[in-house]
C-alpha cells in the first residue's frame, strides 16, 4: 500500500447558519486534500502531519481524522496550545468573508516535534505534500529545519508535491513569501498551482506566464488550475514537456468554491499513487472538484461524495 504524508494545519471552522447561530466543523487546505484523497482512494495510507492541542476541540478533531480514515501517527499534541480557528460570515448577498485566529495555533510548532524517528518514517513514504499555507504556518525560525527535512526526503526518494496557496496576511511581506516559494519550486518535483496564487504574489495572470516563471526549476510535473478555465498540464510522461490544455466543463450553479483546488489535488494525487494515467487522474480530479463546488463547505457530506464517486468511477 502506498503512503502519502501531508503536512499542514487543520482548523476549527465556524459558519453562521442564521443570526447568532454557528455550525462548527474542521477544515484547512492540507486537511481537505487528505480527506478527498482518502475518500476517493481508500486503499492508500493517508497520514496527516500536524499538531493539535489536548482540549475538547482537538479531541473532536482527532475523532474526525479517524472518521475520515486519516492516519494520526504523526499528529502531535501540544499541552499548551490549541488549534487555529476561523469563521465564515455570509452577508445578505451571499458574499463570504473569513476571519482567522491562527497566529498562536498548535500547528505552528510542528517542526519541534519532527525528530529523527519522524524523518525516518516520512522517508519511507511515497509522497510528501505541503502548501504555501503549510510554510506560512511553520514558525519562521523553524523553516530552515523544515527545508533540511525536505532535502532528506528528496534524498530518500520521496516524491515532493507543492501547491503554492498564497495567503498574503500570513506573511510579514510578499518578499518573505516569494523567497520561501522559490525554495519550494526548487525542491518539489510536482507543483499544482492556481493562476490566482501567481497573480497575487508575482503579478502573473496567465498559465503561460506561470510556465515561463517556473522554467528555471527542475519541476517534472506541473498542473496549472484556473477555476473553470482549461487546466494546463506539463509533464514528461503526458506530453514530453509541452504544455497541454485540458478543458474543464464549467459548473452552471456554483454554490461554494471553497476547497475546489484542495479536492482537485487530493483526487489527482490519489489517482497517481494508484498508477492511474495522467489524463484519467486529471479527469477524476476535475470532476471531483466540480462536484465539491456544487455543495456547501470545504468538506462536503461523505455519503453524497461517495455516491458521486461510485457512480462515476
* Helix, strand, coil percent content, the chain, rounded in steps of 5: 45, 25, 30
**Residue whose cell numbers read 517534472:** 220
Per rule CB under 6 A, is residue 243 in the interface with ligand ADP?
no
Per rule CB under 6 A, is residue 290 in the interface with ligand ADP?
yes
Q: Mark 85-105 as b/e (b = at least 16 C-beta within 10 Å).
A: bbbbeeeeeeeeeeeeebeeb
- Rg of the chain taking only CA atoms, in angstroms: 18
For residue 220, give the 3-state DSSP assignment.
coil
Per rule CB under 6 A, is residue 281 in the interface with ligand ADP?
no
Q: Are 244 and 236 in contact (CB under 8 A)?
A: no
Per rule CB under 6 A, is residue 125 in the interface with ligand ADP?
no
Residues between 156 and 195 with contacts to ligand ADP, criterion CB under 6 A: 194
The number of beta carbons lying within 10 Å of the beta carbon of residue 237 is: 10
Nearer to ligand ADP, 106 or 210 (CB): 210
For residue 125, give the 3-state DSSP assignment.
coil
* 262 included as an active-site residue: yes
**Catalytic residue selected from 197, 256, 262, 278:** 262
User: Which of left, alpha, beta for 217 (phi over 0: left; psi -120 to 50: alpha)?
Assistant: beta
Q: Which stretch binds ligand ADP (CB under 6 A): 7-15, 63-71, 133-141, 249-257?
A: 249-257
| d(C-alpha 228, C-alpha 144), whole Å | 37
Per rule CB under 6 A, is residue 250 in the interface with ligand ADP?
yes
Q: Cβ of residue 293: shortest distance to ligand ADP, in angstroms?
A: 6
Angle formed by the axes of helices 174-187 and 195-202, nearest 10°: 130
Per rule CB under 6 A, is residue 297 in the interface with ligand ADP?
no
Per rule CB under 6 A, is residue 199 in the interface with ligand ADP?
no
Per rule CB under 6 A, is residue 289 in the interface with ligand ADP?
yes
Residues between 206 and 225 with contacts to ligand ADP, criterion CB under 6 A: 225
Residue nearest ligand ADP (C-beta atom): 261
Per rule CB under 6 A, is residue 251 in the interface with ligand ADP?
yes
Active site residues: 262
Q: Which residues bind ligand ADP (CB under 6 A)?
A: 194, 196, 225-228, 231, 248, 250-251, 254, 257, 260-261, 264, 286, 289-290, 293
Amino acid at each position: 500500500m502506498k503512503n502519502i504524508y501531508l503536512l499542514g494545519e487543520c482548523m476549527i471552522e465556524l459558519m453562521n447558519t442564521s443570526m447568532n447561530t454557528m455550525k462548527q466543523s474542521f477544515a484547512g487546505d492540507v486537511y481537505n486534500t487528505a480527506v478527498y484523497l482518502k475518500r476517493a482512494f481508500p486503499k492508500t495510507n493517508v497520514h496527516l502531519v500536524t499538531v493539535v492541542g489536548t482540549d475538547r476541540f482537538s479531541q473532536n478533531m482527532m475523532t474526525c481524522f479517524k472518521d475520515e480514515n486519516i492516519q494520526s501517527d504523526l499528529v502531535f499534541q501540544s499541552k499548551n496550545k490549541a488549534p487555529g480557528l476561523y469563521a465564515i460570515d455570509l452577508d445578505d448577498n451571499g458574499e463570504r468573508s473569513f476571519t482567522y485566529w491562527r497566529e498562536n495555533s498548535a500547528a505552528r510548532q510542528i517542526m519541534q516535534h519532527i525528530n529523527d524517528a519522524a524523518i525516518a518514517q516520512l522517508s519511507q513514504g511515497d509522497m510528501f505534500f505541503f502548501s504555501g499555507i503549510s510554510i506560512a504556518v511553520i514558525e519562521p525560525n523553524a523553516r530552515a529545519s523544515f527545508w533540511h527535512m525536505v532535502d532528506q526526503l528528496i534524498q530518500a526518494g520521496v516524491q515532493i508535491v507543492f501547491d503554492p496557496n498564497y495567503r498574503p496576511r500570513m506573511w510579514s511581506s510578499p518578499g518573505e513569501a516569494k523567497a520561501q516559494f522559490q525554495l519550494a519550486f526548487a525542491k518539489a518535483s510536482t507543483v499544482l498551482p492556481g493562476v490566482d496564487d501567481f497573480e497575487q504574489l508575482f503579478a502573473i495572470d496567465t498559465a503561460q506566464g506561470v510556465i515561463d516563471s517556473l522554467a528555471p526549476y527542475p519541476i517534472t510535473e506541473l498542473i496549472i488550475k484556473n477555476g473553470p478555465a482549461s487546466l494546463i498540464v506539463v509533464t514528461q510522461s503526458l506530453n514530453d514537456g509541452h504544455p497541454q490544455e485540458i478543458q474543464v466543463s464549467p459548473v452552471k450553479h456554483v454554490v461554494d468554491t471553497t476547497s475546489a483546488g484542495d479536492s482537485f489535488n487530493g483526487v489527482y494525487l490519489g489517482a497517481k499513487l494508484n498508477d492511474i494515467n495522467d489524463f484519467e487522474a486529471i479527469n477524476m480530479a476535475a470532476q471531483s472538484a466540480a462536484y465539491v463546488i456544487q455543495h456547501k463547505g470545504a468538506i462536503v457530506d461523505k455519503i453524497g461524495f461517495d455516491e458521486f464517486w461510485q457512480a462515476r468511477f
